[in-house]
Amino acid sequence: MPIRPAVLADVPAMLAIYAPYVANTTYSFEYTGPTQAEMEERFLQYSVKYPWFVWEENGTVTGYAYASPMAVRLSYQWSADVSIYIREDCHGTGIGRALYTALEKELQRLGYFNLIAIITEENGGSRIFHQKMGFEHTMDLPCVGYKFGRWLGVSYYRKRIAEGNPEKAPEHWNPAQWKPQ
């Protein structure tokens, strides 16, 4: 399976995939793409507790998916913010579905209950993708981001991946314990 846990050495490839989303679209609300050092810091900060996966074929990373905290307060610890970025020429190939499925299963194993996706207003492809992946549209926040000279909104999507009440906090992620499905 071409899905594996991301490592620090994948940061340049992930950055190359992400940069066009920042520079050319409103799919990310960042104005300028992160530097390699900033992307490495993000990876190191979040991958301690949350899974990051890459899709790699023939030595080339063409997509990645990861989780991060939904919010900082302790009450949110059972919910994870999820994101996915696929190289543009690889859209529609099934890479996104496979990456998100692996991410979801791992987050469920770790003890998370909810996946949250925050999708910018003009990213219709992501809305359709998340709905196909079983996410439900929960709310819209109009005019909360300003990019390329215009105000834009975001939509929140949620997918419940566990039921009942938590018995303990989610586990920290250990990439060595991940097993491909």
Give the CATH number for residue 85: 3.40.630.30
**Residue 111 counted as domain residue:** yes
Predicted local distance difference test score (pLDDT) of residue 163: 96
**Residue 118 counted as domain residue:** yes
**Residue 177 pLDDT > 80:** yes
Q: Where does the pLDDT of residue 22 fall: very low under 50, low under 70, confident under 90, or very high at 90 and above? A: very high
**Residue 179 counted as domain residue:** no
The backbone torsions φ and ψ at residue 156, rounded to the nearest 5 degrees and listed phi first, read -100, 135
Mean pLDDT of 134-148: 98
**Residue 173 counted as domain residue:** no
Predicted local distance difference test score (pLDDT) of residue 181: 73
**Residue 50 counted as domain residue:** yes
pTM of the model: 0.96
d(CA 23, CA 160) in angstroms, rounded, equals 32
Bridge partners, 83 (sequence order): 66
Residue 157 contacts residue 137 (beta carbons within 8 Å): yes
Tokens of 32: 């300028």
Cα R_g (the chain), whole angstroms: 16
The CB density around residue 177, as the number of other CB atoms within 10 Å, is 11
Give the count of domains, the chain: 1
Tokens of 123: 């990213």
Tell me what percent of the residues of the chain surpass a pLDDT of 90: 97
**Residue 56 counted as domain residue:** yes
Please provide the average confidence, as pLDDT, over all residues in the chain.
96
Print the domain residue range for 39: 3-168
d(CA 35, CA 12) in angstroms, rounded, equals 10
Helices (H) and strands (E) in the chain, counts: 4, 7
**Residue 138 counted as domain residue:** yes
d(CA 67, CA 83) in angstroms, rounded, equals 6
Predicted local distance difference test score (pLDDT) of residue 180: 84
**Residue 101 counted as domain residue:** yes
